[in-house]
Structure 1
Amino acid sequence: MAPAPRRRASPAAKSAIPQMSWRNPQPAPIVLVSGPEEVCAERAIAGIRDYLRAEDPSLEVSDVRADDYAAGTLLSVTSPSLFGEPRLVRVSGVEKCSDSFLAEALSYLAGPQDGATVILRHTGSSVRGKKLLDAIRAGQGGGAEVACAAIKRDSDRFDFASGEFQQAQRRIAPTALRTLVSAFADDVTELAGACQQLLSDVDGDITDAVVERYYGGRVETSAFTVADTAIAGRYGEALVALRHALASGADPVPLVAAIASKLRTMARVAGHRESSSAIAARLGLKDWQVDRARRDLAGWNEESLGRAIQTAAQADVDVKGGSRDPVFALERLVTVIATRAPYGA
């Protein structure tokens, strides 16, 4: 007999507790962050942390995995400390929680600890933990919910990107916004990163020319080809990829930004020995980003990686007007990365 199809958890449509936007979450004794859109979930969780930390910088933050749970952990991390600091407990993997966690979480709803905020992350990928979700949505524990529905349709992506600029109180031309959304139609995480890069790098209104300069023709594809071959030590291929990207009209600024981004991720992951999921949760990355960075780190050491990051920082200055020859700055950067040695050595 064929196995029954895997069901997804029911949506939060019948929830009796307050529903909060992931863009403007606030703490509650229990906060259920539900749904598959990881970008929105990460923002919601970070927003609650920032809210609590602004109220009291002594906030204690603990991370708990519901699928690899040690009995008694939830009560331990929520209990008041000697000095009574507020506590934030971020629980991941509730959609695959252990029986032990499920039992203790249901018990916790009957008497949440004063001064503690517990965030439960459930992606909705399974019905595991449904009893807990139903109890929270029925009002047990004084909870609230942040629903993070999947962003799939073009209109959803457009609204998402528009919201990024509205929240920052910045203006973007409608046609520029459409171009930006079209450039990242397959990945909301990349779209979010592109929006934040424009907000960080560009002063004033975001125009068609700005978006075309950064993301016209999806320069990231060629940029990451350059970065990947250079980081792998394939010097000749990296130079060929760089020259092809430049000949195709790629702007040096986002080229350097893409390369620097990969180097920074490598530096953040270097030296950590935990599981990919644990590192990803702590650093705000995806599991696959951690796995890729670990592969990229093969053959690198602290000295060579530090040198590459410093060269990328100088290249960023040079391509933004600090040098008359931005192409040379890019070639120097690729050389330092691919050879893992000082330029000209």
Structure 2
Amino acid sequence: MSANAGPRPDRRAAVVESALAAYAAGLRDADSALVRDERVRNSARGQARDILTECLAALHGEQVQVAMEAELTSMALGMRRAFEQIPPIDSLFAAYLLFEVGTDALVEEARALSADTAMDRLTRAVRMLHSSISTRVRAGAIGYEASTLRGVGEANTARRDQLARDIHDHIGSSLSLALRCLDLYEADLAAGGSAHTRIADARKALRDTFRFTRSLVSGLRSYELRDSLHAEINSYTQAVADGAQVAVGINGDEAWLPADRRREIFLVVRECLRNAFTHAAASRIDVDVTIAPDSVACTVEDDGRGFDASGAASGGSGGMSSMRERVHGLGGALRVASYPGIGTRVHFQVPLPQPARAGGSVEAREHT
């Protein structure tokens, strides 16, 4: 078989069917609501087949795009699942499982390609897998929400805004991280380096998305950092930094931070870093956090290309607005200073409630 020729149709169909069998087994093992009813099971299987077929086509060099019809179908499917009272967590778990199964199938199939094309094709196919799944999940969520809101009436405005921030800062940032890891994976391969950790980082970001969404849709709102603030920031920078030197300093005792403050501060810092990695092309980024018994001050500064901060001051992008709203919600203030060609400096300070003097729980304390 030549490097550019695809497999026989029966071989490609066999790969799809094998992956579908693994996907169905995973849903059964999880006792997913998507396999309890035959009609729901068939619709989930049909979507999975379309996604896997698209990705195999991309792996073998075909030009593929997610069809608009797929979005409309997924939106209608989301509305049906709301009507049938299938929890959104089941749909999200199915998406996560399909990404795992699909990635394994693509990696195995790529072994049959020539060495000079395999890695490039595999990268494109995995990106196609992510795009195919996320497009359908997004459309399905829109349909589910539309059906739900029709039944319960118009949601409270403040709650909608909070949900928008949470979706942007948790789900949006984690998906952005996964895409960033795939971009770095492709760059590492082009440079002849080892890129195995990039796929692992992308999987971790998607697992974090799943974990947060599970707490969100269940109404628990109990998403917490698993490690110290210092460790979480370091973990994020190690996953997405590409050439930039990042210095993180935590001054003070993290035990003074209540869990909710730690989480919110991390989300703001992560958004600052994401903006710097994505837009600034910086060679150095400094993160300084000073924790006192009554307040926390944080500065994130880079030496990147900078921008006109007047737009950010008047509202700016969704990320900048989300940071401001999150800091203001904690009773704090955020300032942005940036100039084209010089760099960007984001500084914010938030007060701590008096009970924090007695300590907040944190398993690891970092001092610098």
Report the TM-score range of the alignment, normalised by the length of the smaller protein. under 0.3
TM-score, scaled relative to structure 1: 0.27
Say which structure is richer in helix.
Answer: 2
TM-score by length of 2: 0.26
Which is bigger in relative contact order (C-alpha 8 A, separation at least 6)? 1
